Amino acid sequence: MTAVTPFPADGRPLLEVRQLSQQYFLRRQKLFAPRPILKVLQDIDFAVRPGEAVGLVGESGSGKTTLTRMLTGVEKPHEGHVVFDGVDVWSGGEAHRRLFRRSVQVVLQNPRSSLDPRMRVGTSLLEPLRSLKIEGDHAARVLEVLDQVGLQKSALERFPHEFSGGQLQRIAIARALMPNPRVLIADEPVSALDVSIQAQVLNLLKDLVRDLGLGLVFIAHDLSVVAYTTSKVYVMSSGKIVEVGKPLDLFRNPSAEATQNLVGAVLSVESGLAGNALA
């Protein structure tokens, strides 16, 4: 394995990117002209530690999706490092990449997109264990995870269409937990849910961070949701991290223009009724 100089042992991140940049070559405009380059990420530093919930916010097109692809190993960066547990993912060897794929799992915005509608929930939950070739008592693991997300054993015999949106998101979280990950990346996990259900899913994620010591990367547009769920927020704009801090500090006293724009787009109940954006 190729080791990367670690942070101090008592504060080393589980997952981080260091000076990460990403670019794509576009189609030539003329036959012999050089291919234009689109720079999507520039000099990104980002980290999440055990038992820490970190928020990632930014307007559409800011680079959040591309950074997520870097954090999950879907894409290799043009420059910089993606580091899991102190070892570079792309130069650490196949054994470490297998560990990385097992240890970093994603919860998507729409739980229906991660569940086969023709497959019973019990079978869907077993899929990650089979695809990652994880051995052990699979039946016991399924029951353990169901308990962690607050679902009954009877859910295993039912199909996705038999559940509400909130229940489906719990199932999607359970599926992500099956390989016993160390980092959970939640990409807009409550934006498709009714407001009355959002708090239940957010509380579940907070409990998992606390009880399992997970690192949570929470990606969202709703700043109130981010402030409720996370203890640290990175603000992205035009492919760069423009501000980092505690959520309430950032949202009450934003200094970067991108943060100010995000805060200005949020309506509280009182100011919304008055027709004014959050100050």
Task: Find the Cα–Cα–Cα–Cα dihedral 20, 77, 57, 84, rounded to 10°.
Answer: -80
pLDDT at 274 over 80: no
Does any domain span residue 264?
Answer: yes
Number of residues written out for the chain:
279
Does any domain span residue 4?
Answer: no
Does any domain span residue 163?
Answer: yes
Buried b (16+ CB within 10 A) or exposed e, 73-111: eebebeebbbbbbbbbbeebeeebbebbbbbbbbbbbbb
pLDDT at 278 over 90: no
Please give the C-alpha separations between residue 142 and each of 75, 130, 209, 211, 261, in angstroms, as whole numbers. Answer: 30, 13, 19, 18, 43
pLDDT at 84 over 90: yes
Average pLDDT of the segment spanning 143-159 = 95
Does any domain span residue 7?
Answer: no
CATH code, domain carrying 170: 3.40.50.300
Task: Report how far residue 208's alpha carbon sits from residue 216's, in angstroms, rounded to the nearest whole number.
Answer: 9
Tokens of 64: 């959040």
Binning pLDDT at 50, 70 and 90, where does residue 251 land?
Answer: confident
Does any domain span residue 246?
Answer: yes
Does any domain span residue 245?
Answer: yes
pLDDT at 271 over 60: no
Tokens of 32: 């012999």
CA 149 to chain centre: 18
Task: Report how far residue 166's alpha carbon sits from residue 192's, in angstroms, rounded to the nearest whole number.
Answer: 9
**DSSP secondary structure string for all residues of 90-123:** TTS-HHHHHHHHHHEEEE-S-GGGGS-TTS-HHH
Task: Find the Cα–Cα–Cα–Cα dihedral 255, 239, 236, 111, rounded to 10°.
Answer: 170
- Residue 272: per-residue pLDDT: 41
Our count of domains for the chain comes to 1
Does any domain span residue 1?
Answer: no
- Residue 68: per-residue pLDDT: 93
87: which strand partners? 3, 84
- Residue 115: per-residue pLDDT: 86
Residue range(s) defining the domain that contains residue 241: 15-274
What digits encode the pLDDT tens for the residues 154-192?
A: 999 999 999 998 999 999 999 999 999 999 999 989 887
Does any domain span residue 279?
Answer: no
pLDDT at 235 over 60: yes
| More confident call, 278 vs 188 | 188
pLDDT at 43 over 50: yes
